[in-house]
């Protein structure tokens, strides 16, 4: 057997395996070493990594936090909460913190409900990991039917398995159907003592009032820009990322009060910057498609100076930088608002509420611009933004808005313009132009602004305690003063005056008038004047009714207004102006009192000079 295992190596030395015959499978003499497995850790976005876990971590919701802390301290915890607000302000996060606060047992396992959950007990850990069996979250956007709600109602009948309180969190609760809401009402009004409901919604108006009345409602506010920027600065420091304050302020403004939106934008900005490079304001502006804030100031400077070439040049620079025309218009609108606030509250220019650039350039610009200019700029930009959004070529539409703004920049304020035109019209009337016809001058309303005319001299009448019925219009007015609405309406619409000779009135009544209108009018006049009246019916055409006369008077007044020198001057200055309405100062006379030539009325007293003066009275 000797030499069966003979080799050059001794027993205490390791033996080497003989090489395989021929070339190896991989064409080499040795097999490649297996690569070490790579275990890449999944990245958590900032919005999840820095989600608040306690009430103290919530930012911008001081009122909510104070109320809930007091409720826990006094053991006055409601059975249902309704959390509402825009997206990303912390509604679902608050609901989870509430679930932990209700079920926390403390580090020693002996604690009760507390506004400061420990975060280390079994319940806190399980709720944080979204795997607690007694904390049920349901998305109402995906589970809208009554069957989904019935499952919740059925689950409320059983006591919690390991927690102190069962918590049902329903997100976007406004998406539930009407039947689902109705099915939930009874349980929501009288839930078992071991059950709490927390609802979250962005559309509070879509939630039935019957549900709202059974919940404690909390409106989560939009987080202010300065609070958001400070919060982002703390997170950037924890992430060891350098970020300029201007960049963080731009992200905070773009977040529009939403913490989650802002953290998503911060995440994107950090990824966009080169490794080790800071997050700059220019980088954020390029990422968001925003115009640089200084460009917006340059744009408004050019508009205020009436320089369309300069304004279009600034717009060209913004376009080359990748700015969206709509966002440029919106930034310009926001600057108009900022300058208006500085104009109204000068102390803002000295405080720290506004960014440094707004204080440095905004204060001098606000002092130079007038309030009417800023108001006109605001209104035109509001309409202009809608035009740009609907246009097929947004850039061209934005250019047209800027040109329009430049050419109206030097227009006087509407009040000043009306005063100028009124002076010119008065000069024309005092010179070669013919004066308008005498009589009640109409008051034209041009683009919603009334243009007052010189008052017309009025004929004063002597006061009298008894009703003076010198005209048929006085009879109609008396019915209105005495609140006889039915008689007043029929006299205005259905009565056409043929002759008015007190105490005799001859009328042509419309077919729609009631058959007893004449007798009713006679009784009314006798009761008010103490004398008998005769109401005669006639087939003569008569004068137009009061309503017909007023309609004709308004049409005549409108024609006179269109021919008025002041109105013509306004139309020449504003080609698109319109007369919205014309008010007639005095109602038209229905008919002149006829001569008395009938022997049957010899006992009728003659019409006095005072009656004639009253009949010709001009208001």
Concatenated DSSP letters for 37-62? PP-PPPPPPHHHHT---SGGG--S-H
Higher pLDDT, 607 or 292: 292
Residues 6+ apart with CB under 8 A from 447: 574, 577, 578, 580
Asked if residue 411 has pLDDT above 90, the reply is: no
Say yes or no to pLDDT of 609 above 60: no
Read off the tokens for 2.
């000797």
Per-residue pLDDT band for 588 (boundaries 50, 70, 90) equals low
| Least confident window among 153-157, 246-250, 289-293, 430-434 | 430-434
Side-chain-side CA neighbours of 578 within 13 Å: the count stands at 2
In the block, tokens 């990748």 appear at: 322
Which letter does DSSP use for residue 243 in this model?
A: B
From residue 56, alpha-carbon distances to 6, 478, 578 in Å are 79, 72, 59
Q: At what angle do helices 517-529 and 472-481 cross, to 10 degrees?
A: 80
Question: What average pLDDT does range 206-227 have in this prediction?
Answer: 91
Say what the pLDDT of residue 473 is: 87
Residue 287, pLDDT score: 83
CATH class given for the domain over 228-407: mainly alpha
Contact 295, 318 (CB under 8 A): yes
Determine the pLDDT at residue 134.
92
Q: Which pLDDT score, from 0 to 100, does residue 445 have? A: 36
Query: Within its chain, how far is the Cα of 99 from the centroid?
Result: 34
- pLDDT for the residue numbered 607: 43
**Per-residue pLDDT at 219:** 92
Say whether 228-407 and 46-219 share the same fold. Answer: no
State the pTM of this model.
Answer: 0.54
pLDDT of residue 69: 92
Say whether pLDDT at 459 is over 60: no
**Per-residue pLDDT at 13:** 47
**Mean pLDDT value of segment 161-180:** 91
Q: Is the pLDDT of residue 110 over 90?
A: no
Superfamily holding 46-219: P-loop containing nucleotide triphosphate hydrolases (3.40.50.300)
Domain boundaries, the chain: 46-219, 228-407, 439-566+578-619
288-297: average pLDDT: 77
Confidence of residue 587 (pLDDT cuts 50, 70, 90): low
What pLDDT does residue 575 have?
A: 74
What pLDDT sits at residue 290? 64
Backbone dihedral region of 90: left (phi > 0), alpha (psi from -120 to 50 degrees) or beta?
Answer: left
Task: Dump pLDDT digits (tens) for 474-520.
Answer: 888 888 888 888 888 888 888 889 888 888 898 988 888 888 888 88
Give the chain's mean pLDDT. Answer: 79
pLDDT of residue 600: 41
pLDDT at 528 over 60: yes
Least confident of 209-218, 356-365, 410-419: 410-419
Residue 167 has pLDDT above 90, yes or no: yes
Residue 425's pLDDT band, with cuts at 50, 70 and 90, is low
When mean pLDDT is compared over 28-42, 97-111, 570-584, the highest value belongs to: 97-111
């Amino acid at each position: 057997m000797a030499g069966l295992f003979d080799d050059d190596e001794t027993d205490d030395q390791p033996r080497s395996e003989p090489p395989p015959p021929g070339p190896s499978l991989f064409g080499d003499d040795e097999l490649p070493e297996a690569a070490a497995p790579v275990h890449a850790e999944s990245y958590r976005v900032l919005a999840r990594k820095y989600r608040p876990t306690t009430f103290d971590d919530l930012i911008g919701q001081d009122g909510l936090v104070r109320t809930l802390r007091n409720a826990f301290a006094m053991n006055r915890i409601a059975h249902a909460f309704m959390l509402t607000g825009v997206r990303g302000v912390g509604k679902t996060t608050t609901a989870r913190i509430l679930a932990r606060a209700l079920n926390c047992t403390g580090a020693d396992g002996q604690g009760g409900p507390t506004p400061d959950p420990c975060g280390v007990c079994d319940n806190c850990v399980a709720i944080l990991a979204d795997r607690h069996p007694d904390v049920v979250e349901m998305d109402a956007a995906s589970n809208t039917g009554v069957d989904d709600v019935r499952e919740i109602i059925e689950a409320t009948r059983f006591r919690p398995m390991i927690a102190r309180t069962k918590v049902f969190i329903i997100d976007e609760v406004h998406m539930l159907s009407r039947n689902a809401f109705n099915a939930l009402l009874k349980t929501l009004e009288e839930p078992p003592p071991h059950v709490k409901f927390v609802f979250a919604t962005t559309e509070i108006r879509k939630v039935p009032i019957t549900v709202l009345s059974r919940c404690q409602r909390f409106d989560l506010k939009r987080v202010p820009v300065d609070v958001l920027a400070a919060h982002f600065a703390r997170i950037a420091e924890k992430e060891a990322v350098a970020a300029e304050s201007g960049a963080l302020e731009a992200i905070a403004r773009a977040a529009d009060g939403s913490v989650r939106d802002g953290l998503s934008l911060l995440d994107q900005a950090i990824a966009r910057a080169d490794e080790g490079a800071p997050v700059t304001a220019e980088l954020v502006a390029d990422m968001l498609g925003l115009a640089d804030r200084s460009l917006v100031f340059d744009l408004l400077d050019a508009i205020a100076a009436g320089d369309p070439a300069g304004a279009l040049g600034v717009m060209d620079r913004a376009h080359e930088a990748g700015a969206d025309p709509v966002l440029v218009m919106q930034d310009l609108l926001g600057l108009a608002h900022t300058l208006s606030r500085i104009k109204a509250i000068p102390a803002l220019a000295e405080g720290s509420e506004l960014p440094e650039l707004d204080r440095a350039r905004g204060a001098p610009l606000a002092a130079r611009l007038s309030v009417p200019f800023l108001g006109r700029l605001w209104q035109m930009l509001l309409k202009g933004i809608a035009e740009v959004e609907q246009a097929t070529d947004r850039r061209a539409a934005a250019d047209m808005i800027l040109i329009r703004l430049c050419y109206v920049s030097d227009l006087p304020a509407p009040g000043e313009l009306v005063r100028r035109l009124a002076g010119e019209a008065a000069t024309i009337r005092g010179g070669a132009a013919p004066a308008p016809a005498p009589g009640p001058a109409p008051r034209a309303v041009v683009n919603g602004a009334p243009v007052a005319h010189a008052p017309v001299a009025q004929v004063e009448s002597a006061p009298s305690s008894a009703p003076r019925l010198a005209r048929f219009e006085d009879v109609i007015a008396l019915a209105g003063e005495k609140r006889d609405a039915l008689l007043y309406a029929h006299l205005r619409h259905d009565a056409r005056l043929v002759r008015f000779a007190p105490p005799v009135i001859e009328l042509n009544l419309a077919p729609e008038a009631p058959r007893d209108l004449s007798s009713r009018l006679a009784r009314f006049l006798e009761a008010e004047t103490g004398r008998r009246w005769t109401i005669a019916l006639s087939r003569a055409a008569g004068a137009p009714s009061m309503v017909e006369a007023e309609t004709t008077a308004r049409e005549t007044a409108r024609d006179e207004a269109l021919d008025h020198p002041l109105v013509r001057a306004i139309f020449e200055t504003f080609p698109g102006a319109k007369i919205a309405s014309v008010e007639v100062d005095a109602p038209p006379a229905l008919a002149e009192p006829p001569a008395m030539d009938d022997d049957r009325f010899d006992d009728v007293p003659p019409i006095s000079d005072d009656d004639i003066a009253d009949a010709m009275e001009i208001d």
